[in-house]
Structure 1
């Protein structure tokens, strides 16, 4: 975790949330990690009852959620489910079995009319001034297309040719003339298709930037003589102002200047041109790649070919461009190449920090632009810059001081226990009290006391502990004369885990080609599971006809025994109480807020629900979802008074699945199913006034990665690991060196050594090395 500007260790937050999310947006697993300096490590064990399909791994801090549209790291994780049969070999499992759960990604190639968008450099074409346009060609599914075309005038004269390459990106330059109309022409299936170009302004400004290796050439033009006098051009890079120039009378209608990159950081720079009145009129993004910031990672070994169960010794050296040693925070993994599409990575720390995070996480394959120094990649990187940007609304908000400087979420330094105290049975009536926190599972009992503010709010912490511990918060009022009245209070504790309101990003999903390329990997994993069963049958469930009939019921079956699912359609989503950390302290509305695309605002007990995608499109007068409790319709007020510990699970029904409820379900249906704690005649009864007990989830402690030593042991069980080694923290010495050793297994094939990390001065590092394991002689 680093500062978004300097890329040095962040001084704000020490708490990171890592989540595994299904394609419906429901969190199926969460880990809360403590970051002491830069890095933290953890693991997520996949539930054996998980459904096959695409999942997203994402990580963020609470402080990042202050952004209206937070940009967080996301990575697509396809999960395959294998059943170990008595008579089935890995080669007999059909590909179609592994396509289940990914059907929505398996659409046929689109052959219709593509979408061609043109993005004028700086924001506008201006008649009479040379201009450049970025272009993006996509099919109906958003996949980039490579094609060639022409810029033509109204008389069908060819003015310029253009071509889109990888990801459908390209650029074309020409000078639009007054009184002439232009369009793009493309031949598709022997037929000419025409596409409009952005309308050129009769007068205005053009901002042009060219990357010239050691410098950036900046050119500003105007259609008016002396039109640049008083204009302001500002360049920003990762929070620093790298350029500022005020136009003067000597500029006439154009000026050009050079910005040398020797002293600049790497990353996306934003240049904005302002009129003399302070109005932003042109913007251009450009990627700065300063060779002075280069790092050189060398990984070596005595040989690149090893036998089975043989010891491997790797040496790693990291230096800068001048050969000086570097240090920082690094990790290493050695994984099989099977199913990897023939590339070393789909995303890495360098492409995320320097490119994708600045552009909102929307780049399909950001690593492509950093794979090598080929001219085509640099050309496409600049085309990518041309198709992004123009964030004029940001400047307008800043200049008008509309940016909210008070964050909703404070940086987390550790585990905080927050909440408020109210009059007993009246959560709307806040009460100033004295609150006491007791933590029971520490080596010593923690007892902390504080006075709440006038709104009854309390805040204890920060604390650091692993696992989960039991806690209570007690409250008393010193004003009343009688002792029983001093504790006539309610204590409401805030939930521990945050909830992202935003949709999942545009993470690339698993396609058929990826699944087909993964067959060798899946065969390896199947073989490993069979071996694990033969040597340790308690840890692996082997299925056959008899065992299938007697298999243990899953959690869903148990919970739904008396409360079946409302519908079985694709638009029914479920959140389970026991899968939400810290749900003991939540309200039922907090639990509802964990459903994808559902927004819950307000504070208990005045929380209300909105489903934006539904309420904005419906024609019915009813503006909220239909609520059901154990199948009985109720209103939102009733749900507001319920606590999460009374709820077993919640279904959200939207789309065509809600049609069975008629107009009442036009804005979605939220169905709550209660457990044994629920009593409709004694809603939200508090047995003990003045005290609440709950469990606090602690920080997750990563398990140690298994590392056999075949010099000291030679087990009979075959070793079919596809990940031979993982070390989340690699320490370099004063010379930038480190030595790593591990043992191969019994699986032959090619492996990748992957290293990623960041130097102490904020330079991202990634590197690869090839190894092979062959059968021993």
Structure 2
């Protein structure tokens, strides 16, 4: 007979004869973790931007990093990263597809001066990451400020509103703290000593201390505590059977009471200590069999570090882990009971001094003046002073305009901390600002106790029925589509197909589409746009039969609908200090004034009044559609994306909604005339061919009659012009189609613009124009070598003062690098 045990969220089926063998379960855990580490690992992406906030008409310069989520080495799955800029209305206003051959790739977004100021979302992900929760995407908030005059008005309004609010808040009362309790290991257990972390969620209490104490149900005082930075606190308790406990916190003389979680009569605990060089681990149980049959497993991001099966009935043991051989990051420790249920868990953060990488930056000059050429030598080094091969990006910013905030997110805090934890850690840079600082290590350990591991659950990892992963890793650009009979029976069919790239050198491939007409070419690696030709023949390309070209080619959308937009767990890189924002706006206003004066000097014209109107999204879409037609715009246009369920509708269903079009079954007329002329992407088609099409195949439909239809021959009864959906990597402009052939411009990977670096020696424009830059220099792709430093050169501007040099990146061994230094221009 087989017996099934249930505990919490996990189900484990026993082997034959009703006995669950620890060695089988241990083997299963090891196999699952090894598979997760080697082939089922997640991917992580990170985007380094040149600064945290911008004004309209500026550019966002960035470098995207793509790594294996376990080792932080180059991922062997995906070579493609999608980076999107999203406005406050959740519209994607910019999208870049980056090819990442090594570990990083540069990109940029130009902020249109017609955009609305506000908080924009920068999002990055790979196609493979879409199989998991969108919270694993990289997302951070970027503030885009308006013109200086607009912002001055907004600031005055904000100040007035704040003043009014202050007047309203004279009777303000301190809120009751929202407190949560987190016993170490997960549960309070009777007669076992437990450490308990507490967290006050209200941000108002994160920078002040609160005093409290623990009492039992007889009001006996057990333990006192004081909260620290970020609203965190700690106390120790040994619960007694049949007793309950309450935390009392003093708020300005008023006592607020909070019940602690009820203790379990029997169970297991994990207790830890972290002194930096080693981690102490104590495992205890008050079960009758003690720890016999339990399994302890420790892993780091899914890489198995340690396992222990207890064969005796002892009720506790102690283990020391030296950190000298460990990578930096979170260690996840789980204790399983003899039935295979996870009964206690603990997260510990490892900061190994051996892994501390620094970046040496040497200047070629001791004193720097304005408009001087500067050469920097950049050398990442380990703790023994040896050069480390790395991929880096570097931003140099004016500290007066963009003051440095050491507490915000960077590549090190993101990859090692926030990307693996459930819930966001505010000000993560605080914990890394001073390496191996005991105080910060203590606070970070409290963070580990109050957050949970989120990359996987043991239930999902050990489940044999893994969900399908519908989104495949992208290794290049694919051109996909279907081939279909142009004449009866109008079905999808296998045909000869041929793809030709008409670039600097001609590349050609041929294949037979399958029985359903599907063909797939790729993966290809090319950049920008390439003129492309796709051909299809019913028989083969050598046949002279008159019907050989009676084929329609329909292209697929490669990536489909973009992922759903969610603003949860955003990285708050925006500052809230009004003084900082005002400083940035002041510099931006001056830069705008300088540029305006220079343009006026270069070109003096009589006054010209230009009246313009900002185009709506609908107008932009219609312009895009108009560029595909011979007739231009039609006031009788049906767009399938505007109709719910259009994908499953026939063309005749879609035509029913157009005024003046009569539809009876498959018979169509325009205002009582004869049968109209049908066209697909400018190619005449048999009217009955329309029966084989659906809304899934069509982007939009234009109905034309009279003079509007006259641009097409034999159009006395009007024209119904159908336009097929095009793949996301197909330029919709200038798509031309004839029977058996289709030509267009294929969209390749994005090529980043070069950061504008003025030459104050040889440049002409720079001689007569003031040079003020908030980002003095941006270097998106620095590859350091083992035998020599990496050099970069640039010119200082007209700004005197201090500049921040921020370097971020990844070493060839998967260690994230973040370094801050300064330089001064006098």
Please tell me the TM-score bracket, short chain as reference. Answer: 0.7 to 0.9
The more displaced of 345-354 and 420-429 is 420-429
Shift of 1:303: 6.5
Shift of 1:82: 0.7
Distance 1:451 1:168, change over 3 A: farther
The more displaced of 417-426 and 378-387 is 417-426
Out of 308, 311, 317, the residue aligned to residue 379 of structure 2 is 317
Distance 1:237 1:335, change over 3 A: same
Q: What's 1:235 paired with?
A: 298
Shift of 1:65: 1.4
Shift of 1:392: 11
Aligned pair count reads 676
SS of the equivalent of 1:529 reads helix
Q: Does residue 747 of structure 1 match 2:799?
A: yes
Q: Does residue 605 of structure 1 match 2:667?
A: no
SS of the equivalent of 1:466 reads coil
Contact 1:427 1:605 in 2 (8 A): no
Q: Does residue 337 of structure 1 match 2:387?
A: no
Q: Distance in 2 between matches of 1:18 and 1:223?
A: 52
Contact 2:141 2:572 in 1 (8 A): yes
> 1:428-447 alignment to 2 at 5 Å?
430-440=492-502, 442-447=503-508
Distance 1:639 1:223, change over 3 A: farther
Higher RCO (CA < 8 A, seq sep 6+): 1
Q: Distance in 1 between matches of 2:617 and 2:97?
A: 29
Q: What's 1:136 paired with?
A: 199
Distance 1:289 1:432, change over 3 A: same
Contact 2:276 2:350 in 1 (8 A): no
Q: Distance in 2 between matches of 1:231 and 1:120?
A: 20
Q: Does residue 387 of structure 1 match 2:447?
A: no
Q: Distance in 2 between matches of 1:134 and 1:269?
A: 18
> 1:717-732 alignment to 2 at 5 Å?
717-732=769-784
> 1:194-233 alignment to 2 at 5 Å?
194-233=257-296
Shift of 1:697: 2.2
Out of 437, 445, 448, the residue aligned to residue 509 of structure 2 is 448
- Structure whose CA Rg is larger: 2
Out of 499, 521, 525, the residue aligned to residue 464 of structure 1 is 525
Q: What's 1:507 paired with?
A: 570
The more displaced of 71-80 and 713-722 is 713-722
Shift of 1:741: 3.1
Structure 1: where are the runs of 5+ without partners?
561-574, 583-587, 594-599, 609-627, 631-637, 648-675
Q: Distance in 2 between matches of 1:476 and 1:539?
A: 58
Q: Distance in 1 between matches of 2:501 and 2:230?
A: 54
Q: Distance in 2 between matches of 1:503 and 1:125?
A: 36
TM value normalised by structure 1? 0.77
The more displaced of 414-423 and 687-696 is 687-696
SS of the equivalent of 2:770 reads coil
> Structure 1, residues 622-648: CA drift from partner, whole Å, max 9, x if none?
xxxxxx999xxxxxxx9945733569x
Contact 1:132 1:173 in 2 (8 A): yes
Out of 706, 720, 724, the residue aligned to residue 756 of structure 2 is 706
Shift of 1:229: 0.6
Contact 1:296 1:319 in 2 (8 A): yes
Q: What's 1:553 paired with?
A: 613
Q: What's 1:296 paired with?
A: 358
Distance 1:694 1:158, change over 3 A: farther
Q: What's 2:184 paired with?
A: 121
Q: Does residue 308 of structure 1 match 2:376?
A: no
> Structure 1, residues 406-448: CA drift from partner, whole Å, max 9, x if none?
53222222111123345669999654333333334x1234432
Q: What's 2:699 paired with?
A: 644
Distance 1:558 1:771, change over 3 A: same
Contact 2:478 2:558 in 1 (8 A): no
Distance 1:356 1:18, change over 3 A: same
TM value normalised by structure 2? 0.73
Q: Distance in 1 between matches of 2:293 and 2:206?
A: 43
Shift of 1:732: 3.0
Shift of 1:754: 0.8
Q: Does residue 60 of structure 1 match 2:125?
A: yes
Shift of 1:740: 3.2
SS of the equivalent of 2:348 reads strand
SS of the equivalent of 1:6 reads coil
SS of the equivalent of 1:95 reads helix
> Structure 1, residues 30-72: CA drift from partner, whole Å, max 9, x if none?
1111112112111111112111100121222112212244512
Shift of 1:206: 0.8
Aligned-pair RMSD on alpha carbons?
A: 4.2
Contact 1:748 1:772 in 2 (8 A): yes
SS of the equivalent of 2:757 reads coil
> 1:333-732 alignment to 2 at 5 Å?
333-338=395-400, 340=402, 342-344=404-406, 346-359=408-421, 362-372=424-434, 373-389=436-452, 394-404=457-467, 406-422=468-484, 430-440=492-502, 442-478=503-539, 483-484=546-547, 487-489=550-552, 491-496=554-559, 499-501=562-564, 503-509=566-572, 513-536=576-599, 550-556=610-616, 559=619, 605-606=647-648, 640-641=695-696, 643-644=698-699, 682=720, 684=722, 693-713=743-763, 715-732=767-784
Out of 748, 759, 764, the residue aligned to residue 811 of structure 2 is 759
